[in-house]
Each structure stands twice: as structure tokens, then as C-alpha cells.
């Protein structure tokens, strides 16, 4: 396969040099060009025709958001990775950028202690994303089971008492789309792991709350999980649910990352299985890697229900793809159909059956 041609857009010459050297060290990536201003960036966009680009949140002549909008006019489907500092303002701007069509983001290194540590931090975050968004396979998916796997009809259904969601690349927009379709008055708690650093997760919770269906907060240690309330795992903390008597509470830890992630979907899903065995609905939305697969294996063993986003509507079909190909999903659906599916599973018909969707939405390739 050809290397992923990447255009670097950043107003800092030092950052452009570091990114250029870093990307050039990987044979699967090629630096298509570098730009320090919007005018040069748009010129190189036409001349180099990159597969993906990195875009600084803060540019000198126009804002990163304004440049993103112009790039989207010219290249509607070109993957764009925002490069953001870990500040309140930059985090807010990055979420705005994701809402306006950016594919993903990487946090600029801060307080790493050395230049080498900063480079390794960027390498670990950025290179896999460029390869995934540029069409290169980062982790080989397990072989699918023979033949298509249609939605599993369920005759006897345990009542759902918790909605657990995992997402990563493309997740903020997918979550927003999902909760636009969820009505008020949800009768179960909602717990979410979205791969994001601190600051970002708090802002994500605030933005999800503005959609009006469910109030969201960034989860706090010891907080009680209440019906109709949403909880987002804080950046750099695992979120677990634990039962204490008749109550279920949030537990935050900083144990080792899983799947190179903290928070990790697997950690949350395993705790959901322990706390609500067979009475959980898990959604796995767009995201890179395989976080969530092991947690779904545990959920499936106890009869939990699992729905995943399909490949066509995912920014990266990694997380949901792993679960689907492992045969763990009862439904593989486009993003626009998941809210309705969620409500049908939370409030099943008296017969305990669910409506049939078009066949093409049921198959796992």
C-alpha cells in the first residue's frame, strides 16, 4: 500500500519541524507538505492532494475553525486531525471543530519533562490516527464468522436497567446525533466512555446536556448513578460502577490504561456486567482500535444486549467492527437508526420482540 500522504498545518515552525521529522520516520506515512498560514495551506491542499491533514487549532491569520470550514468546502471528505493544546479554550475550540467536520484531534504535549517524551507522546497518539483515517489498517480485525449474522430475535428479555456506551474517533458527533433522538424521561442511568483527555470530557458532558434529552455530568467518585442522568468518564480516569447495598455508585480509578486508554470502555463494560448482570444495553459507536471487545464478551456471556454502529456511518470502524465481527452484536445499524433501536430495547413490546430492520443493516461483512 502507498504511504499516507499527510499535510501539516501549524503556525509554529518548531512544531512543523517536529511533526515532519516524526512522520518521516514512519515508512507508512509521507509528508506531503507543511504550511504555517491559511493561504499556504489552501494552496498546498490543491497542489499536493493529501490523504489526511493535521490542523493547528490556533492559526495567525484566520482561526483554525475558519480554515477548517474552508477546507471542508473544498474537500468535504478529507480526514482532518486537529492539533490542540490542553487548555480550556483550546478544548472548547476542538469540540467546535469536531462539530464542524473535523475527524479527530491530538493533544499537544505538555509537562512531559523532555523533548523526547513529548515526541513519543505525539507519536503514540497521532500516527495510529493518521494511518486509520488514511485507510491503513492499524490492527487486524478478527475473522468474521461464516455467513451474515442477522439481528438476534429475543423472546424473553430481562428489563434493561443501565445504558452503557463506548466511543472514540468520531464519537463526540455520534453521541450528539444519538442523544438528539433520545426523548426526555429516560428511566435508566447512562454511562459513557469517550476517549478524551481531562478538560475535554467535562466540556463534552456540558455539550451533551444542551441537547435537552438527558442531563450529563462528568462522573465523580462516589456519585450515585441515578435514573435519567448521564455520566461521562473523566479524562485520565477509569470509570466503574459498583453496587453498595441498594445503590449503584460511580468509582474512579487511575489504574493502568487498558488498550492504551484511560478511561477504557472495557473497564466500564466489565463493571456494568458485574453490577447489572444480563440487564444492560451496551452501545459501541465509531472508534479506532478494539477497546470494548473484551467488555462486550463479558456482557454477552450474561445475556446483555449489544448494539453497534455500522461501517458506513463510522469515522473508523474499529471498536464497533471488532465487536460485530466477533459475533457479539445483536444489531449492527447506521448511526441514524441507533436512537430508535435503543428506545425499542429499553421499552420492548409486550411480546418481548423487536421490529425487523432492512436486511442490509443486519449483516456483518
151 belongs to a structural domain: no
Q: How far is CA 45 from CA 1, 9, 13, 118, 238, in A?
A: 22, 10, 19, 28, 39
| Percent of the chain scoring above 70 in pLDDT | 88
Name the catalytic one among 51, 56, 291, 310: 291
**142 grid coordinates:** 478478527
Q: Assess contact for 162 and 274: CB atoms under 8 A.
A: no
Would residue 238 show up in a list of annotated catalytic residues for this protein? no
Same domain, 173 and 95: no
Q: 180 with 268, same domain?
A: yes
Asked if 190 and 242 sit in the same domain, the reply is yes
Task: Note whether 129 and 166 are same-domain residues.
Answer: no
* Strand, helix or coil for residue 320: helix
pLDDT (0 to 100) of residue 113: 67
CA 302/CA 279 separation, integer angstroms = 9
Phi, psi of 140 (to 5 degrees): -70, 130
In a domain, 125, yes or no: yes
When comparing pLDDT for 153 and 239, which is higher?
A: 239
Please check whether residues 196 and 336 belong to one and the same domain. Answer: yes
Q: State the total domains in the chain.
A: 2
Pairing of strands 280-284, 305-309: parallel
Are both 302 and 194 inside the same structural domain? yes
The yes-or-no verdict on residue 112 having pLDDT over 80 is no
In which domain, by residue range, is 117 found?
Answer: 4-133
* Pair (168, 122) in one structural domain: no
144 inside domain? no
195 is catalytic: yes
Residues 179 and 69 in one domain: no
| 127 and 172 assigned to the same domain | no
Q: Greater confidence, 235 or 352?
A: 235
Name, in order, each residue with C-beta under 8 angstroms of 270's C-beta and a sequence gap of 6 or more: 294, 295, 298
Measured in degrees and rounded to the nearest 5, phi and psi for residue 360 equal -65, -15
Q: In degrees to the nearest 10, what's the CA dihedral of 179, 183, 189, 195?
A: 0
Residue 140 belongs to some domain of the structure: no
Choosing from 84, 103, 167, 168, the catalytic residue is: 168
The CATH number covering residue 251 comes to 3.40.50.180
Other Cβ atoms closer than 10 A to 73: 8
Contacts of 235 (CB under 8 A, 6+ apart): 196, 197, 198, 199, 200, 201, 263
End-to-end CA distance of the chain: 22
168 is catalytic: yes
* Per-position DSSP letters for 217-273, written without gaps between them: EE--TT-B--TT-EEEPPTTSEEEEEEETTEEEEEEE-PPPBTTBSS-HHHHHHHHH
Mean confidence (pLDDT) of the chain = 89
User: One of 195, 213, 238, 314 is an active-site residue; which one?
Assistant: 195
Same domain, 229 and 309: yes
The tens digit of pLDDT for each residue in 152-190 reads 444 446 799 999 999 999 999 999 999 999 999 899 999
Amino acid at each position: 500500500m502507498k504511504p499516507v500522504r499527510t499535510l501539516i498545518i501549524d503556525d509554529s515552525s518548531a512544531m512543523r519541524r517536529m511533526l515532519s521529522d516524526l512522520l518521516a520516520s514512519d515508512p507508512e506515512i509521507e509528508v506531503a507538505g507543511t504550511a504555517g498560514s491559511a493561504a499556504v495551506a489552501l494552496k498546498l491542499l490543491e497542489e499536493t492532494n493529501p490523504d489526511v491533514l493535521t490542523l493547528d487549532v490556533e492559526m495567525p491569520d484566520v482561526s483554525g475553525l475558519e480554515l477548517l470550514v474552508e477546507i471542508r468546502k473544498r474537500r468535504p471528505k478529507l480526514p482532518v486531525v486537529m492539533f490542540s493544546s490542553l487548555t480550556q479554550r483550546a478544548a472548547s475550540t476542538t469540540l467546535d471543530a469536531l462539530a464542524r467536520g473535523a475527524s479527530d484531534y491530538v493533544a499537544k504535549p505538555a509537562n512531559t519533562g523532555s523533548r523526547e517524551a513529548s515526541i513519543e507522546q505525539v507519536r503514540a497518539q497521532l500516527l495510529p490516527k493518521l494511518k486509520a483515517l488514511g485507510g491503513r489498517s492499524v490492527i487486524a480485525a478478527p475473522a468474521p464468522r461464516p455467513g451474515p449474522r442477522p439481528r438476534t430475535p429475543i423472546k424473553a428479555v430481562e428489563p434493561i436497567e443501565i445504558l452503557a456506551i463506548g466511543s472514540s474517533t468520531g464519537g463526540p458527533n455520534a453521541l450528539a446525533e444519538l442523544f438528539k433522538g433520545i426523548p426526555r424521561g429516560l428511566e435508566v442511568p447512562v454511562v459513557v466512555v469517550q476517549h478524551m483527555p481531562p478538560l475535554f470530557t467535562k466540556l463534552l458532558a456540558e455539550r451533551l446536556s444542551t441537547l435537552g434529552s438527558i442531563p450529563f455530568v462528568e462522573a465523580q467518585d462516589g456519585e450515585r448513578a441515578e435514573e435519567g442522568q448521564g455520566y461521562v468518564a473523566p479524562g485520565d480516569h477509569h470509570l466503574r460502577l459498583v453496587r453498595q447495598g441498594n445503590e449503584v455508585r460511580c468509582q474512579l480509578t487511575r489504574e493502568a490504561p487498558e488498550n492504551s486508554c484511560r478511561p477504557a470502555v472495557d473497564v466500564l463494560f466489565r463493571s456494568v456486567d458485574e453490577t447489572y448482570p444480563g440487564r444492560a444495553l451496551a452501545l459501541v459507536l465509531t472508534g479506532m482500535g478494539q477497546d470494548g471487545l473484551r467488555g462486550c464478551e463479558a456482557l454477552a456471556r450474561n445475556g446483555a444486549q449489544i448494539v453497534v454502529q455500522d461501517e458506513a456511518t463510522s469515522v473508523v470502524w474499529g471498536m464497533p467492527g471488532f465487536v460485530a465481527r466477533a459475533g457479539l452484536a445483536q444489531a449492527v445499524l447506521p448511526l441514524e437508526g441507533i436512537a430508535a433501536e435503543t428506545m425499542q430495547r429499553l421499552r420492548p413490546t409486550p411480546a418481548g420482540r423487536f421490529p425487523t430492520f432492512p436486511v442490509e443493516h443486519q449483516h456483518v461483512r
